[in-house]
Amino acid sequence: MKNLKEISTRLEIAKKKIHKNNESTNDAYLGKALKISTEFVAAVVVGTTIGFLLDNWFDTKPLLIICFFFMGVASGILTVFKSAKKMQTK
Amino acid sequence: MSLNPMHQFQVYKIGPEINLGGLNLSFTNASLFMTVSSVLILALLFFGTKKKLLIPSKIQLITEMSYTFVAKMINDTAGSAAKSFFPFIFTLFMFVLFSNMVGMLPYSFTTTSHIIVTFVLAAIVFVGVTILGFVKHGFKYLELFVPKGVPMVLLPLIVIIEIISYLSRPVSLSVRLFANMMAGHTMLKVFGGFVISLGLLGGWLPLGFSIALTGLEILVAFLQAYVFAILTCIYLNDALNLHH
C-alpha cells in the first residue's frame, strides 16, 4: 500500500509539472499574432468585395464600395477585438 | 530561370493530359505532393499503431503524441461536445502539417503555398460549420449575427458588420496559411539566390541567413497547421454552443 501512495503523489507532482509547461509558450504567442493580423485584412477585403459585387449589381458604381469598405474595416476591428478578448479570458 | 524565386510555385502536369468534359484533370506536381503527404500520414499511422507496446517505440510515440495533441486541443477549445469531430480535425491538422513539412524538403513542392488548396480546405470547414450550426440550432443559429444589448437604431448596421465578419472567416483562414507558406519559401529562395550570385567571397552571410530561415520556416510550418486546426475548433465551438 505504501508503494501505491508513493506512486500517486509522484503522479500528482508530474501532473502539476505538465500543467505548468502548458502555460502559453512563445510559439503560441507568435501564432496568435499571425492570427490577428490576417483577421483584420480579411475582413476589409471581404467587405470591399461585397461592396464591389453589389455595386455591379445595382449599378451604383462608387457608392456601395465606399460604404462596405468602411463596414469591412469596422468588422475587422470587431473581429480583432473579439479574439483579443478571448485571449485575455483564457 | 532557376534563380527566379517564384519558379518553385509553378504547377505543371506529370504524365498524360486528362480532359473530362472540359475539366482539366491532369495529374500535376501539386497532386503528386498531396499524394505523397497523404501516403506519409497513412504510413506513420499504420506503422505507429501496428505493434502496441507498453513502452512505445519512437514511431509509436510520435503517433500517440499527435493523437493526444489534437485530442487535447479539441477538448480545451471546443469542449467535450466536439469530440465526435476528432477524425475531421485530426485529418485536417495532419494534412496541413505534412504538406508544409514535405514542402521544406529540397526539390519538393509546397501544396499549401497555393491559395486554391488552402481556400478549399477553409471552405470545407466554413460550409461544414455553417450546416452544422443550422442543423443543431435551426434558425436560432442566425442569432449569432445579433449581439445582445444593441439599440434598435444600430441593429441593421451591426448585423451587416457581423455578417461580414462571419464571411471573412474562410478568407482569413486560407490567406493566413497560403501567405505564410508562400512568403517563407520565396524568402528562402531569394537568399539561396544571393548565395549563388555573391559566390565564394560574399556568399557566406546569406548562407547563414538561409540556414536560420530554414529553422524559422519549420517552426512556421508547424505553427500554421496548429493555427488552422485550432481555429477550426473555435468555429466548431461557435456552432455547437451558441452563447459566446
Confirm whether A13 is domain-assigned.
no
Amino acid identity of B102? V
> Which residues does chain B have within 8 Å of residue A41's beta carbon, measured at their own beta carbons?
172, 175
| Confidence label for A25 from pLDDT (cuts 50, 70 and 90) | low
> Which residues does chain B have within 8 Å of residue A77's beta carbon, measured at their own beta carbons?
none
| Residues of chain B scoring pLDDT < 70 | 1-3, 243-244
Confirm whether A84 is domain-assigned.
yes
> Which residues does chain B have within 8 Å of residue A42's beta carbon, measured at their own beta carbons?
168-169, 171-172, 175
Confirm whether A58 is domain-assigned.
yes
* Cβ-based neighbour number of residue B138 at 10 Å: 9
Is residue B69 less than 8 Å (CB to CB) from chain A? no
The confidence score (pLDDT) of residue B2 equals 58
* Cβ-based neighbour number of residue B58 at 10 Å: 8
The confidence score (pLDDT) of residue B121 equals 93
Confirm whether A2 is domain-assigned.
no
What domain count does chain A have? 1
Confirm whether A18 is domain-assigned.
no
Is residue B164 less than 8 Å (CB to CB) from chain A? yes
Confirm whether A57 is domain-assigned.
yes
> Which residues does chain A have within 8 Å of residue B223's beta carbon, measured at their own beta carbons?
27, 30-31, 34
Quick one: average pLDDT of A24-33? 64
pTM: 0.82
Mutate to test the interface with A, among B119, B144, B165, B230 (most CBs of A within 10 A): B165
The confidence score (pLDDT) of residue B1 equals 47
Contact A50, A68 (CB under 8 A): yes
Contact B220, B185 (CB under 8 A): no
Kindly identify which residue of chain B lies nearest to residue A85, measuring between CA atoms: B244
Confirm whether A48 is domain-assigned.
yes
CA distances from A58 to A53, A63, A71, A72, B58 (A): 9, 10, 18, 19, 62
Tell me the pLDDT tens digit for each residue of B134-162: 998 888 888 888 878 888 888 888 888 88
Portion 58-77 of A in contact with B at CB < 8 A: 68, 71-72, 74-76
Is residue B180 less than 8 Å (CB to CB) from chain A? yes
> Which residues does chain A have within 8 Å of residue B176's beta carbon, measured at their own beta carbons?
34-35, 38
Q: Does residue A20 have a pLDDT over 50?
A: yes
Sign of CA dihedral B15, B17, B21, B25: positive
CB-CB under 8 Å, B157 with A45: no
Cα(B165)–Cα(A15) distance, integer angstroms: 39
Is residue B123 less than 8 Å (CB to CB) from chain A? no
The confidence score (pLDDT) of residue A90 equals 59
Contact B111, B117 (CB under 8 A): yes
Kindly identify which residue of chain B lies nearest to residue A79, measuring between CA atoms: B165
Give the residue numbers spanning the domain of A64. 27-89
Nine cell digits for residue B191: 537568399
Sign of CA dihedral B175, B125, B235, A44: positive
Compare B15 and A39 and report the one with higher pLDDT. A39
A vs B: CB pairs below 8 A: 65
Confirm whether A35 is domain-assigned.
yes
Q: At B192, give phi and psi (nearest 5°).
A: -60, -40
Nine cell digits for residue A17: 509539472
